[in-house]
Amino acid sequence: MEYVTLHNGVKMPQLGYGVYQVTQDECERCVLDALEVGYRSLDTAQSYFNEEQVGSAIEKSGIDRKEIFLTSKVWIEHFGYEECKKSVLESMEKLRTDYLDLMLLHQPFGDTYGAWHALEELYRAGKLRAIGISNHYADRMVEFANFVDVKPMVNQMEVHPFNQQAQLKEWADKYDIRLEAWAPFGEGRNGLFANETLASIGKKYGKTTAQVMLRWHIQRGVIVIPKSTHKERMAENFNVFDFALSDEDMSAIAAMDTATSAFFSHQDPATVERFMTLLEERRQQR
């Protein structure tokens, strides 16, 4: 395993296992499989509704909690100081732990500063080993870094060969904020798994296109959290530390960048409205 060192000195595995869209019925089994394969970094979120299953799997695995780097994220309905602090403690209870290795603000909307102050307080109290943000584009990330007491340690964003976030990576490096990729494969959209450039590179090393993509992220210094519900794929994704891409390979993949989201832009006003609609629907369901 390779590690990155966050700006507060905490070491984080560069490859982890993500449970986005893993159902509650499958989550415990999947996390146990991932841990058996060798993963020691797990990424969940309040909005995934599977924190309890992740916590149960960690407990059942018998692995020392200190060996696992555990990440969750605060959803926007819990933004604001009091609500954020309360929700983080509830997440810890669901995850059956008295601390989290990393807690992120999941979206760049609403009272992010109030929520961040709660994370800062929990960080200083030792309940959170590191704190960060997610889906914050370069402008919002730089704003955050300059207008808070504790600078974010991680920014989790959509990053993959078709959307490489070159500008964001440049600014993240300047502020010593580690970039973490959600959807490091772009969910295979736009034919990414069958891409000829990636397949050609993989053939040289006897690796799959998925393994090439993960290796590319790692060599860029980006943290990755691929998701799979199949143990054999988990093992395949984990097996990326026995080869290295050449400068020529890295340049070929760099040329694939379209700088376009495969999903949606958080800077699109219609997207912001959609998130607010989802938030209101959640409030009405309570």
What's the pLDDT at 48?
Answer: 93
> Tell me, what amino acid is at 74?
V
Cβ 224 vs Cβ 181: under 8 Å? yes
Query: Structure pTM?
Result: 0.95
> Tell me, what amino acid is at 234?
M
What's the pLDDT at 286?
Answer: 55
Please report the DSSP string for the chain in residue order. --EEE-TTS-EEESB-EE-TT--HHHHHHHHHHHHHHT--EEE--GGGT-HHHHHHHHHHHT--GGG-EEEEEE-GGG-SHHHHHHHHHHHHHHTT-S-BSEEEE--S-SSHHHHHHHHHHHHHTTSBS-EEEES--HHHHHHHHHHSSS--SEEEEE-BTTB--HHHHHHHHHTT-EEEEESTTGGGGGGGGG-HHHHHHHHHHT--HHHHHHHHHHHTT-EE----S-HHHHHHHH--SS----HHHHHHHHTT-----SS--TTSHHHHHHHHHHHHHHHHH-
Query: Of 127, 106, 110, 109, nearest to 118 (Cα)?
Result: 127
What's the pLDDT at 285?
Answer: 56
Task: Write the pLDDT tens digit of every residue in 37-55.
Answer: 999 999 999 999 999 999 9
Distance CA 223, CA 221 (A): 7
* Ordered mean pLDDT values, 10 residues apiece, the chain (286 residues): 97 97 95 98 96 97 97 96 98 98 96 97 98 96 96 98 97 98 94 97 98 98 97 98 98 96 86 79 62
Task: Write the pLDDT tens digit of every residue in 62-110.
Answer: 999 999 999 999 999 999 999 999 999 999 999 999 999 999 999 999 9
CATH no., domain 12-285: 3.20.20.100
What's the pLDDT at 282?
Answer: 66
Residues whose CB falls within 8 Å of the CB of residue 218, separated by 6 or more in sequence, listed in order: 2, 14, 15, 224, 240
For β-strands 11-13 and 223-224, DSSP reports them as unpaired
Query: Of 159, 109, 114, 150, nearest to 132 (Cα)?
Result: 150
Cβ 186 vs Cβ 163: under 8 Å? yes
Compute the C-alpha angle 182/15/155, nearest 5°: 40
Cβ 246 vs Cβ 216: under 8 Å? no
What's the pLDDT at 54?
Answer: 98
Cβ 158 vs Cβ 261: under 8 Å? yes
Cβ 22 vs Cβ 48: under 8 Å? yes
For β-strands 3-5 and 11-13, DSSP reports them as antiparallel
Residues taking part in catalysis: 48
Query: Of 81, 110, 104, nearest to 282 (Cα)?
Result: 110
